[in-house]
Amino acid sequence: MRKLSTFHYIIVAFLLISTSFALISSKSNSKQNKTKNKQLDSSETWAKEKLASLSLEEKIGQFFMVSAYSNQGEQHLKEVEGQVVNNKVGGIIFFQGERDNLVSSINRFQLKSSVPLLIGLDAEWGIQMRIFGEQRFPYAYTIGAADDLELTERIGAMMAQECREVGIHMNFSPVADVNSNPENPVIGFRSFGENAQKVSDHVVAMVKGMEKNGVLTSIKHFQGHGYTDKDSHL
């Protein structure tokens, strides 16, 4: 059987390390930073040892993040559970649901997985983007209009806290598209604005706010929705 390349091992190790890293909060003083560094070293050691123990099929499974809807009933949840148990997927991205069934679904899948799952969510304005009944944070366009980078970072920090409370490790956010085409049907208020430098500055601030507080980010979109006059999802 062909062995995975060094590159593949690095990617799988990154996924495993990311799961552990997402559970560790950033600390401000030097004593706490030393503790954090020890925790990160311990997490990296654990990830390498865990990776070495996986079969080829299990390593391949770690590349995959499958979708789940916590409000679509037991049959759907069993199908996702099957991906976790049988195919050893590395993560789950949740879409529609409510707080209670989201948390219970995350806990259910984590208990079934031999490797801690990396849990993701599109939470551009907080978990309310996908989870019904929650309060939302301001849209990116409003944050960009306020144009206060310290405030943007604070909002990112609060979003991270909200994500961690329900078991989310990775927020597929922020949007880095420049809202450069008035005919764009899909970005609009999801962008920080029309000026590329301003958008960039607020993206950096939002990433800092979230990642300093233990939630991974994913700057999007590649290659971008910003200038299109069609919904490029379609």
SS (H, E, C) 94-159: ECCEEHHHHHHHHHHHHHHCCCCCEEEECCECEHHHCEECCCCCCCHHHHHHHCCHHHHHHHHHHH
Query: What is the rounded end-to-end Cα distance, in angstroms, of the chain?
Result: 39
Query: For the chain (length 234 residues), average pLDDT per consecutive 10?
Result: 50 54 52 73 90 95 97 97 97 97 98 96 98 97 98 98 98 95 90 96 98 97 82 80
Establish if 51 belongs to a structural domain.
yes
Q: What is the pLDDT of residue 1?
A: 45
Residue 218 lies in a domain: no
What is the pLDDT, as a whole number, of residue 133?
96
Residue 69 lies in a domain: no
| Prediction pTM value | 0.82
224 domain-assigned: no
Dihedrals phi, psi of 93, to nearest 5 degrees: -110, 125
- Residue 73 has a CB neighbour count (10 Å cut-off) of 10
Q: Give the per-residue pLDDT at 23.
A: 47
**Phi, psi (deg, nearest 5) at residue 216:** -75, 155
User: Residue 45 belongs to what domain range?
Assistant: 1-63
* Domain membership flag for residue 198: no
In a domain, 103, yes or no: no
Query: Per the domain annotation, does 223 fall within a domain?
Result: no
Domain assignment of residue 79, yes or no: no
Work out how many domains the chain is built from and give that number.
Answer: 1
